[in-house]
Amino acid sequence: MNRPSGEGAANILIINNGLTSEKFTQQPKKAIFLDRDGVINRERGEYTWKIEDFEFNPGLAEALRELQSRGYKLIVITNQGGVAKGLYDLEQLQQVHRYMVDALKSEDIHIADVYYCPHHPSVGNCLCRKPNSLMIERALKQHDISTGSSYMIGDKDRDCEAAAGAGVNAILITPNDNLGSYLNLIV
């Protein structure tokens, strides 16, 4: 059976018992990659690693529900250099991420995955820290996501640089702004 390849929708030929065939079009998988601090939760100007300091930005739940209804998978991409600096450990970071995912789940919002870089340039170099694109590239591959129909939403230039490196559309927002006011930029 021949299967056409290329960008966009994939044509799939289904053969039933070898007697009949039907052609279906499968839409490419698309995702919204979200920076954490400043996009999902309030950017405080210092590391946020305690649940009591984690405050969701206004309008976030409504905006994420709308993006889900448009067929986007939601994936968090975040630098967390406080781990490398010894300010908090991986377990504390994972507790905050579990809290975030569970709180959004209670609002009928599904976060498909959370990718984080625990490194910091003051401690050593790595390939995963934004503005590098490795976290987005891993998510694209692991979730079979199409680049052209996906977006990275961030509040810093490094978020947009990471998106460009991975071939994903970028949207730069004002830190702690209502994400809903940017939905018109996403097609």
Tell me phi and psi for residue 106, to 5 degrees: -70, -15
- How many Å separate Cα 100 from the centre of its chain? 14
* Cβ–Cβ < 8 Å for 34, 40: yes
Active site residue 155: no
* Cβ–Cβ < 8 Å for 150, 30: yes
At a CB cut-off of 8 Å and minimum separation 6, what does 179 contact? 39, 57, 59, 60, 63, 64, 153, 173
Active site residue 35: yes
Q: State the catalytic residue, choosing from 37, 53, 89, 102.
A: 37
At a CB cut-off of 8 Å and minimum separation 6, what does 137 contact? 165, 166
- Distance in angstroms (rounded) separating the CA atoms of residues 31 and 72: 5
List the one residue out of 142, 126, 134, 131 whose CA is nearest residue 170: 131
Helix or strand or coil: residue 22? strand
Q: State the catalytic residue, choosing from 35, 102, 144, 155.
A: 35
Q: Which residues are catalytic?
A: 35, 37
